[in-house]
Amino acid sequence: MALVVQKYGGTSVADVERIRSVARRVVARKEAGDQLVVVLSARAGDTDRLLALGREMSPNPDPRELDVLISTGEQITVALFSMAVKDLGAEAVSMTGTQAGILTDHHHGEARINSIATLPLKQKIDEGKIVVVAGFQGSDNEGNITTLGRGGSDTTAVGLAAALGAEVCEIYTDVEGVYTTDPNIYDKARKLDKISYEEMLEMASMGAKVLHLRSVEFGMKYNVPILVCSSFTDASGTLVLQEDEEMERVMVSGITYNRNEARITLTNVPDIPGMAAKLFHPISEAGINVDLIVQGSGSIPGRANLSFTVPKPHYEETMEIAKRVAGEIDAGVHSNPNIAKISVIGVGMRSHSGVASKMFDILASQNINLKMISTSEIKISCIIDEKFAELAVRLLHDAFELDKAPGERVVIAEES
């Protein structure tokens, strides 16, 4: 008998028929002998509707009250789901985030889980009940309702799995798992059987929005295996877990792309201390997240070129700041909002060299110009013209033979 935490997203509980279908799946699993904690999101669209209602009420809704408002979305699904489970003859009990003992910090709308008081939950599990917990929410130490931000139900699920010592945290969603690349771009994309937490973090942060970033961090910190799978099929899904030797033998696990960034370059920046801070401090103050930063030498001695990328929605605002700072330090500014970031990810890069050069070769062979390059231990990212994004993904996917199972690949790289 294993203790399993399952999480179902908004599309899986979008209406009573789907809720009933998920309930049948859960009850069958329970009858097969497992203990179950089920974490649910709000019905698809509900959170957006509640947010819209809040904005209709107030141009700038109070964050505390916005959390009180939007947390009702999950409260509705857990109640409905528990009714459905009971109609199937099993015992169920719903819990709001507060009732489930999920204690967070005070940051309304983006709260972090500090601790989980599992006693009430454990009691109900021991009574043989399927415990149905509202995802995405908790309360702070003064009893105020908080929410964990978009995708926060994943974090609720992994957090509960960690706190309860569950065998696995299963995240049911509308995709069948994590793919080598976006199947919508390339039909040769292959579902991964497993992937390490670190690779998943790179995948998630690059736009493969399968799991909430923080849930993966949680999983990694507490070593909770996370199974990503579809609630609409019985396919096996992708297991996210600690890196093992087998993974290390694989050079590349996936290719991601992101077309939602814009590049800004300051040319001929005086190459003296404090210049970067002068630029990035006001950008950060404006709440804008800079992604890549690359600095190279400029065309004038003692001057450097500084390129960086920001999310497209913040492009105009960032340009205004960049132009102001450039004027102050006598630098030039140019920009390109039509870029794409292509990344190759794999923990195997740690022990294999040659991945970067292979990537550059392949892109060069099709005359795809690299505008920026950034590397980490397990990831290489290149900024290219947006129009080449799909082409680059397909080329790299083919070159690294990601359509084949890892053991069948013959891609040559050097073992370092």
Question: Which residues bind to a copy of itself, rule: CB under 8 A?
Answer: 16, 19-20, 50, 53-54, 56-62, 64-66, 68-69, 71-72, 75-76, 78-80, 82-84, 86-87, 93-94, 96, 98-99, 120, 143, 145
Q: Are 346 and 411 in contact (CB under 8 A)?
A: no
Cβ closer to a copy of itself: 132 or 342? 132
Q: How far is the CB of 143 from a copy of itself (least distance, A)?
A: 6
Q: How far is the CB of 66 from a copy of itself (least distance, A)?
A: 7
Using the structure block, give the residue that is written with the tokens 């979008």: 14
The two three-digit tokens of residue 35, written as one number: 């203990």
How far apart (Å, rounded) are the C-alpha atoms in residues 228 and 402? 19
Cβ closer to a copy of itself: 17 or 187? 17
Cβ closer to a copy of itself: 79 or 329? 79
Q: How far is the CB of 102 from a copy of itself (least distance, A)?
A: 14
For β-strands 332-336 and 35-40, DSSP reports them as unpaired
How far apart (Å, rounded) are the C-alpha atoms in residues 8 and 11? 8
Cβ closer to a copy of itself: 1 or 119? 119
Q: How far is the CB of 161 from a copy of itself (least distance, A)?
A: 23
The two three-digit tokens of residue 363, written as one number: 């892109």
Cβ closer to a copy of itself: 74 or 243? 74
Query: In three state form, how does the secondary structure of 340-387 look?
Result: EEEEEECHHHHCEECHHHHHHHHHHHCCCCCCEEEEECCEEEEEEEHH
Cβ closer to a copy of itself: 144 or 375? 144
Q: One-letter amino acid identity for 173? A: T
Backbone φ and ψ for 102, nearest 5 degrees, come out as -85, 105
Cβ closer to a copy of itself: 44 or 411? 44
How far apart (Å, rounded) are the C-alpha atoms in residues 75 and 71? 7
How far apart (Å, rounded) are the C-alpha atoms in residues 37 and 126? 11
Using the structure block, give the residue that is written with the tokens 């050079």: 251
How many CB atoms are located within 10 Å of the residue 39 CB?
33
Cβ closer to a copy of itself: 8 or 257? 8
Q: How far is the CB of 403 from a copy of itself (least distance, A)?
A: 43
The two three-digit tokens of residue 69, written as one number: 């408002």
DSSP secondary structure, 130-152, as one string: EEEEETTEEE-TT--EEE--TTH
Q: How far is the CB of 23 from a copy of itself (least distance, A)?
A: 10
